[in-house]
Amino acid sequence: KNEVEQSPQNLTAQEGEFITINCSYSVGISALHWLQQHPGGGIVSLFMLSSGKKKHGRLIATINIQEKHSSLHITASHPRDSAVYICAVLRPGSQGNLIFGKGTKLSVKP
């Protein structure tokens, strides 16, 4: 079983919809990252969080440490949000080495 599981694997939405991507992990962590990868492009860090909730524009990330679960929400989705969203966790004492989920491919249709 993978240590970091994301759901869904693929997601298609209509422009304007509220989107939720989930990440569950089975190990103790010191931080969780949400990353975005556009087709053919590089990887950008969206959020890094160890508790609670963070918001940046239309993106909101939450984490529940007790339940070992995080969600990434996108409000008022737009076609430019189409990308692969990757969850990654940092284990305590791991020297910065991240454990990555397989990613959720999001396609937002106009």
Residue 65: CB minimum distance to other proteins, A: 13
Q: Which residue has the tokens 């694997």?
A: 9
Task: Tell me which residues in 71-100 interact with other proteins (CB under 8 A).
Answer: 86, 88, 90, 92-93, 95-100
Task: Give residue 41's Cα distance to chain centre.
Answer: 17
Residue of 7, 30, 51, 107 that binds other proteins (CB under 8 A): 30
- Residue 29 has phi, psi (to 5 degrees) of -130, 160
Among candidate residues 15, 90, 1, the one with its CA nearest the CA of residue 45? 90
Instruction: Name the residues that contact other proteins, by CB under 8 A.
Output: 2, 4, 30-31, 33, 35, 41-45, 48, 50, 86, 88, 90, 92-93, 95-103
